């Protein structure tokens, strides 16, 4: 199975993060425009589950996935 996580940096605005317990296993860049496509996130999740199958089998809980937008933060709102 050939799979590529390459995404053009200009289109990367979000990340899919995979956690096992409290440990971040991997963060994958996403194209924000493609999030509306059916199965877009699913293909990344499937690939990560296959890639880390042995590690996942050692944990009693299934992996958790989180989509984040690591964009710039407004520093003025945190200084109030």
The mean predicted confidence, pLDDT, of the chain is 83
pLDDT tens-digit map of 2-41 = 444 544 455 567 999 999 999 999 999 999 889 899 999 9
Task: Give long-range contacts, CB 8 A cutoff, 24+ apart: 46-55.
Answer: 47/3, 48/16, 48/18, 50/1, 51/26, 52/18, 52/20, 52/25, 52/26, 55/20, 55/25
Give me the mean pLDDT over the 47-75 stretch: 89
Residue 47 has what DSSP assignment?
A: H
Confidence of residue 76 (pLDDT cuts 50, 70, 90): low
- Predicted confidence at residue 70, as pLDDT, reads 78
Q: Specify the 3-state DSSP secondary structure of 19.
A: strand
């Amino acid at each position: 199975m050939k799979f590529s996580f390459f995404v053009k940096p200009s289109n990367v605005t979000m990340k899919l993060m995979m956690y096992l317990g409290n440990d971040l296993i991997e963060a994958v860049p996403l194209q924000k425009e493609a999030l509306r496509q059916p199965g877009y996130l699913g293909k990344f999740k499937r690939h990560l589950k296959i890639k880390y199958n042995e590690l996942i089998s050692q944990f009693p809980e299934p992996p958790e996935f989180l989509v984040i937008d690591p964009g710039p933060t407004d520093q003025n709102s945190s200084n109030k």
